[in-house]
Chain A
Amino acid sequence: MTKKVLKVILLFIISAALLAGCAMGPRAESAPGLSAGESAVYVSYMQHVYKVDTKIGSELWRFPVTGSVQVVLYAPPLLNENSIFVGDLANKFHQLDAAGGSELWSFTQAKGWFQAKAATNGNVIIAPSSDRNVYALNMDGTLKWKFSGEFGFVAEPLIIGDSVIIAGLDHKLIALNIENGDLLWETELKGSLIAPPAYDAASGSLFVGSLGKELLSIDSKTGKRNWSFGDNGEITAVYATPILVEDGLIFTDESGKVFALDQATGAVRWTLDAGGETMAGLLRVDDTFVIALEKGELRAYKISDRTPLWTRTLDGKLYTTPVLEAEKIIVAVTKGKVLLQAYDLAGNPVWSFTPAK
């Protein structure tokens, strides 16, 4: 074989590798999936799920121990008693031992990615997939039922008593019977739903935003609209779940504008421009809310009078809603120098976590 032939072959291989992103694993870009509980933080990113100690930010375990480009994880892990439930982009859903990170079982019947955080009531695990199915699994990993929709699901399910509320990319918010998957009601919104609704148990209302530049209050029993906000072009797309504050709610739109509405009527109480685009949700810490801006800024404001408290800048992008655990605000960074950064409630850096290679 001549040198010229080899050169041509090499050129084609390089071109193909560039096109294929050098790897034949799932071709998807997403943000770290973050959750916390029992003095630990769990983060799914790229080839692993990491359990990190919240005191000093050290790695306690990782799953799988040896990563593979074929297996990518972005779904926020669900902590339930001594188990972690998490799905991957290799179409598998796993139960892990929370203490050691070993796999207890995996569900392999899905044909699409698991990107959303799962939900459980202790008897059933609800795991939405991008294969257009919502899977309900028994606690031993066997299939209990599945519900098929028109499009994939990326939002975490919300369990309210005997029903499970699912926000879909197909613009629909649906309620299913958690025992058998029967459709209880459905409500169509203007745009796709990326995040689950917030639920106020006192009023029985759900508050959900969509890419259709709207935020709705919906009755959780019937699916009927109580009110809608954004019909006059007040907001842009909503990618995150609102936070509930007494009789009000606070949410942010993609442009970084923060709105406080009255839960009962949807009337605007105040607005605030956070100064940058965002798709992450807000974190409430007592009378403070924290907003993560896409450009890498973390900002804290006092809820009562919207006074800016502090701003921290990170190297990388912020797409993940920060979590609060053991008096620390923990934020996951996309394409940054660190994967996790922890702050105390005054915004002082405490530790950072970068996975060892």
Chain B
Amino acid sequence: MWDTLIIQPFTNVLLAITLVVKNFGVAIILFTLLIKLITYPLTAKQLKQTAAIQELQNSPRYKKMMEKYRDNKEKLAEEQMKLYKETGTSPFGSCLPTLIQFPIIIGLYQSIMKAMAATPIEILRLERLVYPFLDATKIIPIQNRFLWMDLGQPERLAVFGIQIPILAIIVVATTWLQTKVMEPPSTGAGDQAAAMSKSMNLYMPILMGWMAYSLASGLALYFLVSNLATVVQYSVTGRSNWSKILPFLKTKTPEAKPAPIVVLPDEDEDEDDEEEIETPKPTSKPSARAMVKQQRPPQKRKK
């Protein structure tokens, strides 16, 4: 099922590209970009949802709620769900696009692995995967020389007799760049998202670098293109945080504060909730939903 629905079509597209461009390295690059392009709507949706959740979590109402129900987790969860419902967001909203993308990413990785068949058994399996109209005899073996690399082997470039893993180094750099660009702005001390991002900045480049160093360079090339494509996707959607990498891009104006969300009291709210929550004047552009709420006249609670 997995092979028929994901691996076989992916591998055949990759091989078809290889047949056209006559170079497996270029085919990996084009195929990775093609998959990134196809999954772009999902990525954009995920980014949008993540941003909405971040915005919400930075709002005074959310913070106040967190503070208020610090010792009552059940009530806190209930209130959080209520808030998510009101604002039309969902903490799982960004998970669904990720979940849909996950098999595609795994399929992409596996199809590259399959196409780089190097042993007789792997060649046999690849031959069986190829659709009849592509003609496996013309495709096998795949010319896996690309620049100085043999895409079926870990990459090393001999410089003055020293074998340097250039591609692995570039993968480390681009993974760092990717995690840095994706790093959410910190909302202050105790910000778990920022702490997690900091850890990712450290561990992910090492992990990806080690994989690029050890595995076939065809996969390292895929890591590299995927990293760069993600950075471009983030930049296109305006979610990238380039000031983290290039400090001179930071504006000299005071740090923007998160958009406030005016509390709209619910009918069944407790007495305690009646007190009006102070909302600071917005210094940055509030979200569309928040703006709509700000424009509404304050409602009086019925007694």
Contact = CB atoms under 8 A, between A and B. Distances in A.
A316 interface: no
A279 interface: yes
Contacts of A12: 200, 203-204, 207
A191 interface: yes
Interface in A1-51: 1-2, 4-5, 8-9, 12-13, 16, 19-20, 24, 27-31
Contacts of B127: 211, 237, 254
Contact-residue size bin, chain A (C-beta under 8 Å from the other chain): 35 or more
Interface stretch (A107-115, A197-205, A285-293, A296-304): A107-115
B57 interface: no
A9 B199 contact: yes
Given A16-B211, A192-B140, A279 B124 contact: yes
Interface in B112-135: 113, 118-124, 127
A211 B137 CA distance: 6
B157 interface: no
Contacts of A319: 120-121, 124
Contacts of A24: 210-211, 214-215
A212 B171 CA distance: 38
A28 B245 CA distance: 39
Chain B, interface SS category? helix
B196 interface: yes
A13 B152 contact: no
A254 B109 CA distance: 28
Given A1-B199, A30-B121, A211 B204 contact: no
Contact of A20 (B120, B140, B152, B215): B215
Interface in B15-73: none
Contacts of B140: 169, 191-192, 211
A85 interface: no
Interface in B93-126: 106, 109, 113, 118-124
Nearest to B208: A16
Interface residues of B, number: 33
A322 interface: no
Contact of B141 (A151, A190, A239): A151
B216 interface: yes
Given A211-B137, A239-B124, A254-B124, A30 B196 contact: no
A192 B127 CA distance: 11
A239 B199 contact: no
A20 B141 contact: no
26 contacts: A2-B195, A4-B196, A5-B192, A5-B195, A9-B200, A12-B204, A12-B207, A13-B207, A16-B211, A24-B210, A28-B119, A30-B119, A30-B120, A30-B121, A111-B153, A112-B150, A112-B152, A113-B118, A150-B143, A190-B137, A192-B123, A194-B120, A210-B137, A237-B136, A254-B124, A279-B120
Given A2-B192, A19-B109, A29-B121, 18 more contacts: A5-B195, A12-B204, A13-B207, A24-B215, A28-B119, A30-B121, A74-B119, A112-B153, A115-B118, A115-B120, A152-B141, A169-B140, A191-B137, A191-B140, A194-B123, A211-B123, A211-B127, A319-B121
